[in-house]
Amino acid sequence: MPTLICDCNRTMPLDPKALGSALNEDLKLHSVLCRREAGDFQQAMRGSGEVVVACTQERRLFTEIAEHTEGAVAPVRFVNIRETGGWSRDAASAVPKLAALLAAAKLPEPEPVPTVTYKSDGRLLVIGPLDEAEGYAAMLADALDVTIFACGGAGAQERRWPVLAGRIGRLSGRLGAFELAWTRTNPIDLDLCTRCNACVAACPENAIGLDYQIDLAACREHRDCVKACQVAGAIDFTREPHEDVEKFDVVLDLRERPAFARHAKPQGYFHLRADAAASAGSGWALPTLLEVRGLAGEFEKPRFFAYRQKLCAHARNETVGCNACVDICSAEAIASDKERNQVRVDPYLCVGCGACSAVCPTGAMTFAYPAVHEQGLKVRTLLHTYLKAGGRGCALLLHDSQRGQSLVEELGRAARVGAAHGVPAHVIPMALWHAASTGIDLWLAAVAHGASQVIVLATGEEAPQYRQALLAQMAVAQDIVEGLGFDAVRLKLIECGNAQDLDQELRLVPRREGKTPPPATFAVVNDKRATLGLAIDHLVRHAPLEPGAIALRPGAPFGTVEVDKDKCTLCMACVSACPASALQDNPLAPELGFVERNCVQCGLCEKTCPEDAIRLVPRLALTPEARRPRILNRTAPFDCIRCGKPFGTLKGVEAMLGKLAGHAMFQGAALERLKMCGDCRVIDIHSSGGEAKITGL
């Protein structure tokens, strides 16, 4: 895969020999590859392998050149090494980072995943003041089938679109499948109204506006409007409220408060406050309107998530344990289905942020596009190439591919004109679909592969709960690396709304060169717990400290359980509830076993225990014993008083006898039968002469 590098008219101090050494490739330095030296690009395009072009600014031009080049069959990839480091003030020492970015550009594209299809017939609902709604409708009606739901305002005389009015009860759905339920509460039927304005002129209280709805609070029941509308018959004060339901494909909401309070609105729903649009100028709403105009037809998006119910710790026996994904989803696309011991994800509402996979302690919910193993391969490639090229103290900067990417590029341009320092030479930017799509597994894997720091960039566009989740997970990861003695490793969340803030934050990121582990060789896999195990094992092998266990804060995905032996009856309800097989029973003896490395601290055992005998203790055990079963509690078996066969635990039977001894149904022989196995109870009932039998009734 040939690589074409260009110093952009000699504005970047590129070293082709050093870069080529890191990439195992002979590189030729260009200065105007997009112009005078375009022949080298054309020659590379005539080859059979993919071509990497270290320029994103002239992507369109290079694409056009390739289309007009005879024999050009090679696919081309573009990578930005200019704004990401070549234009920074310390660009002369950025060779390791630039080599890493070029190496990552050679990786395969993400594997395709199933898609979600939206079908829209272009039925648009505009909700808001009638005059504002009609103004937006006029701009959209040539592309979409418009219906207006009036909320006050004064409409035009000409009826150009269907107009609804009343009290909205519910607006739900998504692109191609919105459902509006409303109640007609006004005496004026807009379907019958001719907009003759006779009622407006006749009303002595001016209670009827040009939205042709009556302000019932101002109305004094003169009924002059009814007399004025006798022919059309549109006004009827005796009409009972009637609920209607209609379906739409797209919704444009001009009200002050949106219909959906959640952070990530459904696809196809747009909220534009009419007063804000008016004060911001005529072009303020243009991007939204252009997007709305294009929403007729069929659209596809990736199915961003993969869910494995058997790993899920959400619920057992209708008892809810882990609720992390449900709580964090900003689109409200995830709902509890505790009757089936699972969660349900609506792929049409999912916006692909990946936060659910980041907080999932078991790996039941994973980010599918790109997959975790693909992200892990990119991290490993970036870090290993950086170290191979002589880099030290690497900081991996994770940012989203939209606003975060824009900030990085703006910072690079500002650095070129001397207005900023730029992205430091030891900071490697890595674009993600969303900043919240990675978690503790990928971060610790990055540390194991050679990162001294892992930094996540938040731009302020993320949901508030994402920030809290990122900080909580980073605190757990930081506790682990500090507990192992890696004093140079830092995990950090930075929040920047503009390039100047980002520049200031990155200048505070030092090149940390203290104790770090040697780079690992393992590959990140799609199994979250497996990746965590590989990363932690590598860190432990090379740790300066050898603690038996590291205390963690609540919410950590590792820990043990403490069992109150005085309360525990060994009923084994906790074993049946445990989704991770951390709690285990012994089929040969009444013993409760526990494998600490399996525990995800979901809390199902604690909530299931009828005796309230279990307490969660978050920690990371590092001894070999954490992988092996250990006994939390044991007791003697209880033997049947009739045949001597063990059928329960001594403490369990004693607890049962204590609770039922005062019950009228369990007195005398009936109480003694509780000490028998199931077979002997049946035999004793049928052989006892004092028991009532159905045949004797």
Contact 673, 593 (CB under 8 A): no
Q: Which residues pair with 617 in a beta bridge?
A: 560
- What pLDDT was estimated at residue 527? 95
- Residue 65 token pair: 């050149």
Q: How far is CA 210 from CA 7, 193, 232, 270, 565, in A?
A: 65, 12, 17, 26, 76
Closest residue by Cα to residue 605 from 628, 576, 629: 576
Residues 6+ apart with CB under 8 A from 287: none
Q: How far is CA 247 from CA 17, 168, 170, 180, 332, in A?
A: 63, 14, 12, 6, 21
Q: Which residues pair with 4 in a beta bridge?
A: 53
Contact 445, 535 (CB under 8 A): yes
User: What are the backbone dihedrals phi and psi of residue 618, each rounded to the nearest 5 degrees, phi first?
Assistant: -70, 130
Closest residue by Cα to residue 454 from 484, 479, 490, 481: 490
User: What are the backbone dihedrals phi and psi of residue 640, each rounded to the nearest 5 degrees, phi first?
Assistant: -60, 130
d(CA 178, CA 172): 6
Find how far residue 350's CA is from the centre of its chain.
8
- What pLDDT was estimated at residue 652? 83
Instruction: Report H helices in 46-94.
Output: 59-67
Closest residue by Cα to residue 312 from 260, 355, 361: 361
d(CA 640, CA 681): 10
- CA contacts within 13 A on the Cβ side of 74: 21
User: What are the backbone dihedrals phi and psi of residue 481, each rounded to the nearest 5 degrees, phi first?
Assistant: -70, -35
Give the 3-state secondary structure of 417-478.
Answer: CCCCCCCCCCEEEEEECCHHHCCHHHHHHHHHCCCCEEEEEECCCCCHHHHHHHHHHHHHHH
Question: CA torsion, points 380, 382, 387, 392, in degrees to nearest 10?
Answer: -110
d(CA 369, CA 306): 9
Give the 3-state secondary structure of 645-696.
Answer: CEEEEHHHHHHHHHHHCCCCCCCCHHHHHCCCCHHHHHHHHHHCCCCCCHHH
User: What are the backbone dihedrals phi and psi of residue 174, each rounded to the nearest 5 degrees, phi first?
Assistant: -160, 180
Residues 6+ apart with CB under 8 A from 93: 425
d(CA 23, CA 15): 12
Closest residue by Cα to residue 165 from 184, 181, 179: 184
d(CA 660, CA 653): 11
The reply to whether omega before 370 is within 30° of 0 (cis) is yes
Q: Which residues pair with 614 in a beta bridge?
A: 563
3-class secondary structure, 54:
coil
Residue 73, judged by CB atoms within 10 A of its CB (0-12, 13-18, 19+), counts as: exposed
CB atoms within 10 A of CB 612: 11
3-class secondary structure, 508:
coil
d(CA 668, CA 684): 13
3-class secondary structure, 134:
helix
Q: How confident is the chain (697 residues) per 10-residue block, as mean pLDDT?
A: 95 97 96 96 91 96 95 94 96 97 96 96 96 94 96 89 94 98 92 93 94 92 93 92 94 95 96 64 80 97 95 94 97 96 97 96 95 97 97 97 97 97 98 95 97 97 96 97 93 97 96 88 96 97 95 96 93 94 92 96 96 97 95 91 88 85 86 90 82 61
Quote the strand ranges of 459-548, DSSP E.
Answer: 490-495
- What pLDDT was estimated at residue 636? 87
Q: How many helices (H) and strands (E) does the chain have?
A: 22, 32
Q: How far is CA 309 from CA 316, 336, 341, 607, 613, in A?
A: 11, 12, 8, 20, 28
3-class secondary structure, 634:
strand
- Residue 652 token pair: 């369990």
pTM for the full model? Answer: 0.89
Identify residue 37 by its one-letter amino acid code.
Answer: E
- Residue 371 token pair: 């997959």
- What pLDDT was estimated at residue 280? 45
Contact 505, 494 (CB under 8 A): yes
